[in-house]
Structure 1
């Protein structure tokens, strides 16, 4: 007769000690559409795809403002030329309860030079990405959503290259996967492609450039020194 009460007590005790019954596990991200948001940002002539997500299960230091800067520099990007931004910041609604917000920061390909390399990208064209953080009250994953695209040079008004969204994503992922280091920090990045969250095609997409419907999830882990 005592077996059931003792078993229940043991279960309660184990839960109280370990916290397993009440702990909320981290998630990669929440689908913006489920909270009234979109997997496209708001640009001049439609939306640009949020085609790379840095998982909320990445090392916490990667997901901070300083952390994403150092990680960006580890994979070949840095702040805009001399810290100057031309044009209106784009906005996005990640469905987290924060509504539509301006991009947190924008990074450009730096051609191996953290300080002046992005000036070459502004002149010659190359890859770049905008960042938003999903941290609102209704969907606080901490994940970073990136709008990645490859653009032409200044003489072409930085219009995107043909297939610029898919190419930009693929080039960023290729630069990120594996082990990279910068500023005394070493990162290991694992990539996973996700389908079903983004429709393929050009309908409503900025510049009318089609996307393939693939989002790449990056999980970035800081390695112990």
Structure 2
């Protein structure tokens, strides 16, 4: 009886001491398994191999809630983005292959700069231009990291047909990172506050305009953000 009680106590202690489940990797380089760090701007509708750079990654080691659809939307709103004007989207979705075994998949969502108004601010962005992003999730059987790959770019106004601004990929990325890593105050929305750690990666995207949509060169930097709910 005494031995049984000791064994039960020991097993209970081991169970309580076990670490919580946690993803093991920030992300996996898509190019290692046939993927690309450029999305497909044609959405698979043509033979064009031009795409937009996946220039920001939300690490799979971020707080789990941030990596969900609703959780990322809340974080995005905290850093100045929201859903499209009145829920309307012009143009087809772009696709990406993140080397996770899922092949090319449609963007999860497209968000636009909201100019401080999460309800109607993106209507202003649709008129005058601003920052916007597309989201792809790495969750296939070959690389189930949960990381979110973002194609971020600053675009022109409606008269210019929403084309990407000169140097718009670098500018869009840097504006997002600036807002995400702000510490005074920390980004916050809906009662949730975030802190983001930044790592700049230079070995994922080649610098230049080769294969890049609109022939706009990039500096080859990918910003890795580990976002934590505080």
| TM-score calculated relative to the size of structure 1 | 0.88
Alignment of 1:143-182 (within 5 A): 143-177=147-181, 178=183, 179-182=186-189
* 1:210–1:140 distance in 2 versus 1, CA, 3 Å: same
Q: Distance in 2 between matches of 1:173 and 1:187?
A: 13
Question: What is the root-mean-square deviation in Å for CA atoms of aligned residues?
Answer: 1.6
* 1:82–1:34 distance in 2 versus 1, CA, 3 Å: same
Q: Distance in 1 between matches of 2:61 and 2:163?
A: 34
Q: Secondary structure at the match of 2:74?
A: helix
| TM-score calculated relative to the size of structure 2 | 0.86
Question: Match for residue 39 of structure 1?
Answer: 37
Q: Is the 8 A contact 2:23 2:145 kept in 1?
A: no
Per-residue deviation, 1:35: 1.5
Q: 2:135 aligns with which of 99, 124, 131?
A: 131
Q: Distance in 1 between matches of 2:135 and 2:175?
A: 17
Q: 2:118 aligns with which of 87, 93, 114?
A: 114
Aligned residues: 207
Q: 2:79 aligns with which of 75, 83, 100?
A: 75
Query: What runs of 5+ residues in structure 1 fail to find an aligned partner?
Result: 1-12
Q: Secondary structure at the match of 2:187?
A: strand
Q: Distance in 2 between matches of 1:157 and 1:54?
A: 29
Per-residue deviation, 1:24: 7.5
Q: Distance in 1 between matches of 2:51 and 2:119?
A: 30
Per-residue deviation, 1:54: 0.2
Q: Secondary structure at the match of 1:217?
A: strand
Query: What runs of 5+ residues in structure 2 fail to find an aligned partner?
Result: 1-10, 43-47
* 1:33–1:199 distance in 2 versus 1, CA, 3 Å: same
Q: Distance in 1 between matches of 2:142 and 2:176?
A: 29
Q: Is the 8 A contact 2:129 2:162 kept in 1?
A: yes
Question: Match for residue 94 of structure 2?
Answer: 90
Question: Match for residue 3 of structure 1?
Answer: none
